């Protein structure tokens, strides 16, 4: 059987014209509207001179217009070429020239490359207006299955973008694999918060629409609140995620994670493997949600599917990559390219075969010849197969040769990530400092609340893996470098190693600075007096303008006093239209106030608060800056409460510091690195 997505949309437009097909926020298209829109776009493209077989570039924005444009391009017989919405003008212009494109549909300025590309507004070509009678008629013709349907450009190892060629047969098989792999139903309303130029997002998009289900688009995972908004607006039933985004969502939602994410009955993770810890945690926290993890690539689409819910309790199978579908063949090759019977001790390179595989790389015959051999698609992934399940050791060039022993970085990461005080980690091979073993594992770690000891983790790992696999070097960083799809960027880690050597610049002070997060919910646990004294000492040892030290640190530890101040602050802030961020159950509050006559009062309090935050972090204690009181000192009922704490009337409370042991990790917020400017 063979079909196209356009042909299926035309059928669905007749069968269920009023059913919602795709939506982004409040923009919506039914199947009937989508069919009319894609035909209109095809007519406009024909009017622009686009012919069958021409390449048409378009910006893959996460909006309904992207879906309409994609289908419209296929409707008129052209080749769809997806361009990352964040692509630089230089990269977009390169792909335009490389494909000899007829037109580029975009609303992003191409700057100095504008004269080199024929562009047309994506918004305009997808809009509805009154000029339809002036456009040429376009009749849809089912293309031959070996006709080129689309090009997916992906980063190449040489730095040059590689255009993956997918035929209509491959596109159909890829969407069919997704439907079979995760069992999408017609009544699904799937939330897709992924970049739509990526193969994972595209195969999900195609599968949802081909099934006749509903696709809800979202522009990334930056704010987990958007997931809740879309759940409320569209009652979504399924979700596609990448593994790193699960952590982002969890940190932002905190104790609401299970409640919110439990509203999805199906979650598929792709573009990377969930860690073993993630698999165990998700299936425990979301017992009524079916969870899948899929392996795929731009060259194959989704090819290996793992039912995480079914294997989470199996200590071996929980670490599997996935199982090939019946129409996907997988074999393992040794270094000579010969098929072998593999196991954990005898892995090899993975090769796949099936109708889903690419036809080659655009204008790169040598790369195509290296990858497609004898009908098989060769990958750089090291695997072994047991009980029909494929297990991944990592990319061939990521495997670490430790004195002749092969070490899988993924295995090291999976085990190390279960250490209680590691949030996430990544392993690479680096030259042996002793010059004996060639290479040794180095582990980059993001630690939880600064609670980390290299000796402790080394001892912990020694009981869980062979000695030669234990990392020799440990490097604490604030966050792991990731690519567009939030996969760990090992190239960036190697570059960091090469530029910084053994990372000796990292020390406990920098570690505390880079790992601190704002914490607003605390355990019901007191801070020991000696630790609290050290934190307060860090505050009053901070710099003070002209060394005046006119500040005051008011410490509140009784729960009833903390609650009384909180209630007063909330009421007063609301009356005066001042936003008061919440906090729950801190072990203590420290009010840093200063004489209003001191022109440096705010700066002094800021320095003191920062010192206290870092000191608290060094002891594994969470903290948050609460600033609502800075303008409310003399407003009731705040004034009465502060007077009761004997805070002088001429003192302004510049900072309220909440301290306590965290219930959950804080949210890692993106930092703007471009704010640094070297003047000379």
286 and 300 share a domain?
yes
532 and 636 share a domain?
yes
Contact in structure between 453 and 436 (CB atoms under 8 Å)? no
Give CB contacts under 8 A, 24+ apart, made by 495-498.
Answer: 496/444, 497/428, 497/430, 497/442
Average pLDDT, the chain: 90
From residue 544, alpha-carbon distances to 551, 594, 601, 640, 651 in Å are 9, 11, 8, 29, 16
pLDDT at 161 exceeding the cut of 60: yes
**pLDDT score of 157:** 39
Number of neighbouring beta carbons within 10 Å of residue 169: 20
Residue pointed to by tokens 């003070």 = 544
Q: What is the CATH number of the domain that holds 382?
A: 3.40.50.12780
The two three-digit tokens of residue 575, written as one number: 């009356």
Range in 189-198, 342-351, 497-506, 526-535 with the lowest mean pLDDT: 497-506
| Cα–Cα dist 102/81, whole Å | 11
Diameter over CA atoms, the chain: 85
Q: What is the CATH number of the domain that holds 574?
A: 3.40.109.10
257 and 240 share a domain?
yes
Instruction: Summarize the chain as % helix, strand, coil (round to 5).
Output: 35, 25, 40
**pLDDT score of 160:** 63
What are 555's strand-pairing partners?
590
Q: What is the CATH number of the domain that holds 465?
A: 3.30.300.30
Half-sphere exposure (Cβ direction) of 108: Cα atoms closer than 13 Å:
18
Residue pointed to by tokens 């989508």 = 34
Question: Which of 128, 143, 158 is where one domain is finished?
Answer: 143
Mean pLDDT throughout 116-130? 87
- Whether 678 is covered by a domain: the verdict is no
pLDDT digits (tens, 9 = 90+) for 621-669: 999 988 778 888 888 998 899 999 999 988 999 999 999 999 877 776 6
155: confidence class by pLDDT, cuts 50, 70, 90 = low
| Cα–Cα dist 371/468, whole Å | 33
49 and 113 share a domain?
yes
pLDDT at 676 exceeding the cut of 90: no
Q: Is 100 left (phi over 0), alpha (psi -120 to 50) or beta?
A: left
679: confidence class by pLDDT, cuts 50, 70, 90 = confident
**pLDDT score of 351:** 97
Q: What is the CATH number of the domain that holds 72?
A: 3.40.50.980
- Whether 562 is covered by a domain: the verdict is yes
Of 297, 406, 396, nearest in space to 337 by CA: 396
Half-sphere exposure (Cβ direction) of 30: Cα atoms closer than 13 Å:
9
Mean pLDDT throughout 157-165? 71
113 and 124 share a domain?
yes
Q: What DSSP state is assigned to residue 482? A: B
5 and 122 share a domain?
yes
Contact in structure between 552 and 636 (CB atoms under 8 Å)? no
- Whether 285 is covered by a domain: the verdict is yes
Mean pLDDT throughout 2-22? 97
- Whether 670 is covered by a domain: the verdict is no
Burial class (CB in 10 A: 0-12, 13-18, 19+), 140: middle
From residue 322, alpha-carbon distances to 330, 350, 581 in Å are 11, 13, 44
501: confidence class by pLDDT, cuts 50, 70, 90 = low
| Cα–Cα dist 227/249, whole Å | 9
Residue pointed to by tokens 């965290």 = 662
333 and 438 share a domain?
no
Mean pLDDT throughout 119-136? 82
Burial class (CB in 10 A: 0-12, 13-18, 19+), 340: middle
Residue 611 DSSP SS3 = helix
| Cα–Cα dist 252/225, whole Å | 8
- Whether 491 is covered by a domain: the verdict is yes
HEC profile for 275-294? CHHHHHHHHHHCCCCEEEEE
Mean pLDDT throughout 99-108? 95
489: confidence class by pLDDT, cuts 50, 70, 90 = confident
**pLDDT score of 578:** 76
Contact in structure between 441 and 496 (CB atoms under 8 Å)? no
24 and 38 share a domain?
yes
**pLDDT score of 158:** 40
pLDDT digits (tens, 9 = 90+) for 169-179: 999 999 999 99
| Cα–Cα dist 32/20, whole Å | 9
pLDDT digits (tens, 9 = 90+) for 242-291: 988 888 888 788 788 999 999 999 999 998 889 898 999 999 999 999 99
- Whether 679 is covered by a domain: the verdict is no
Question: Which of 342, 366, 398 is where one domain is finished?
Answer: 398
326 and 228 share a domain?
yes
- Whether 148 is covered by a domain: the verdict is no
pLDDT digits (tens, 9 = 90+) for 370-381: 999 999 999 999
- Whether 108 is covered by a domain: the verdict is yes
The two three-digit tokens of residue 401, written as one number: 């040769």
Of 381, 400, 399, 380, nearest in space to 391 by CA: 381
Residue pointed to by tokens 């910006």 = 59
**pLDDT score of 453:** 79
Of 96, 213, 260, nearest in space to 163 by CA: 96
128 and 205 share a domain?
no
384 and 419 share a domain?
no
Number of neighbouring beta carbons within 10 Å of residue 563: 11
pLDDT digits (tens, 9 = 90+) for 456-488: 889 999 998 888 899 998 888 878 888 777 788
| Cα–Cα dist 28/45, whole Å | 23
Query: Does 466 or 143 have the greater pLDDT score?
Result: 143
Range in 64-73, 132-141, 264-273, 554-563 with the lowest mean pLDDT: 132-141
Angle at 415 between CA 266 and CA 423, to 5 degrees: 70
**pLDDT score of 261:** 96
Question: Which of 499, 529, 547 is where one domain is finished?
Answer: 499
**pLDDT score of 394:** 86
Range of the domain at 592: 510-660
573 and 621 share a domain?
yes
What is the number of domains present in the chain?
A: 4
The two three-digit tokens of residue 632, written as one number: 């409310």
């Amino acid at each position: 059987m063979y079909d196209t997505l356009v042909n299926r949309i035309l059928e669905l437009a007749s069968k269920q014209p009023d059913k919602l097909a795709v939506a982004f926020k409040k923009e919506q298209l039914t199947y009937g509207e989508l069919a009319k829109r894609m035909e209109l776009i095809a007519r406009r493209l024909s009017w622009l001179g686009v012919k069958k077989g021409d390449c048409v570039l378009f910006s893959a924005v996460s909006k309904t217009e992207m879906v309409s444009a994609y289908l419209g391009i296929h409707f008129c017989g052209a080749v769809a070429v997806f361009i990352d919405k964040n692509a630089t003008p230089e990269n977009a212009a390169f792909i335009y020239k490389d494909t000899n494109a007829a037109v580029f549909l975009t609303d992003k300025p191409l700057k100095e490359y504008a004269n080199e590309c024929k562009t047309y507004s994506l918004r305009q070509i997808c809009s509805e207006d009154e000029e339809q009678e002036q456009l040429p008629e376009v009749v849809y013709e089912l293309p031959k299955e070996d006709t080129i349907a689309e090009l997916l450009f992906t980063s190449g190892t040489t730095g040059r973008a590689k255009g993956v060629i997918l035929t209509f047969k491959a596109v159909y098989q890829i969407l069919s694999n997704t439907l079979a792999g995760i069992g999408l139903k017609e009544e699904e309303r799937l939330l897709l918060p992924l970049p739509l130029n990526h193969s994972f997002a595209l195969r999900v998009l195609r599968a949802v629409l081909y099934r006749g289900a509903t696709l809800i688009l979202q522009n990334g995972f930056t704010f987990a609140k958007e997931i809740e908004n879309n759940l409320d607006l569209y009652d979504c039933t399924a979700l596609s995620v990448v593994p790193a985004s699960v952590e982002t969502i969890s940190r932002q939602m905190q104790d609401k994670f299970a409640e919110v994410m439990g509203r999805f009955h199906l979650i598929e993770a792709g573009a990377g493997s969930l860690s073993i810890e993630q698999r165990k945690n998700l299936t425990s926290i979301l017992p009524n949600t079916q969870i899948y993890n899929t392996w795929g690539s731009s060259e194959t689409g989704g090819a290996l599917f793992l039912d995480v819910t079914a294997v989470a309790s199996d200590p071996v199978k929980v670490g599997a990559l996935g199982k090939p579908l019946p129409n996907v063949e997988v074999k393992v090759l040794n270094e000579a390219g010969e098929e072998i019977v593999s196991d954990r001790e005898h892995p090899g390179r993975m090769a796949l075969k099936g109708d889903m595989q690419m036809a080659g790389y655009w204008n790169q015959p040598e790369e195509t010849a290296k990858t497609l051999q004898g009908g098989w698609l060769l990958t750089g992934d090291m695997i072994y197969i047991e009980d029909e399940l494929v297990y991944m050791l990592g990319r061939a060039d990521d495997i670490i040769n430790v004195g002749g022993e092969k070490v899988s970085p993924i295995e090291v990461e999976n085990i190390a990530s279960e250490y209680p005080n590691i949030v996430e980690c990544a392993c690479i091979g680096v030259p042996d400092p002793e010059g004996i073993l060639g290479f040794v594992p180095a582990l980059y770690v993001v630690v939880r609340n600064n609670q980390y000891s290299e000796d402790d983790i080394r001892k912990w790992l020694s009981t869980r893996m062979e000695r030669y696999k234990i990392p020799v070097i440990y490097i604490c960083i604030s966050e792991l470098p990731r690519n567009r799809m939030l996969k760990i960027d090992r190239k960036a880690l190697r570059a960091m190693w090469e530029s910084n050597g053994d990372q000796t610049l990292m020390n406990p002070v920098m570690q505390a600075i880079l790992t601190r997060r704002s914490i607003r919910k605390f355990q019901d646990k007191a801070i020991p007096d000696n630790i609290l004294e050290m934190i307060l000492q860090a505050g009053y040892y901070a710099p003070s303008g002209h060394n005046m030290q006119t500040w005051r640190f008011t410490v509140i530890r009784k729960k009833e006093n903390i609650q009384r101040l909180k209630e007063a602050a909330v009421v007063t802030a609301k009356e005066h239209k001042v936003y008061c961020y919440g906090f729950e159950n801190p072990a203590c509050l420290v009010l840093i106030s200063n004489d209003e006559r001191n022109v440096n009062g705010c700066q002094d309090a800021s320095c003191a608060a920062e010192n206290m935050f870092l000191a608290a972090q060094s002891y594994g204690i969470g903290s948050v800056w609460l600033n609502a009181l800075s303008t409310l000192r003399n407003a009731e009922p705040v004034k009465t409460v502060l007077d009761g704490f004997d805070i002088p009337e001429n003192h302004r409370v510049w900072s309220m510091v909440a301290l306590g042991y965290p219930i959950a990790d804080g949210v890692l917020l993106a930092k703007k690195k471009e704010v640094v400017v070297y003047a000379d």
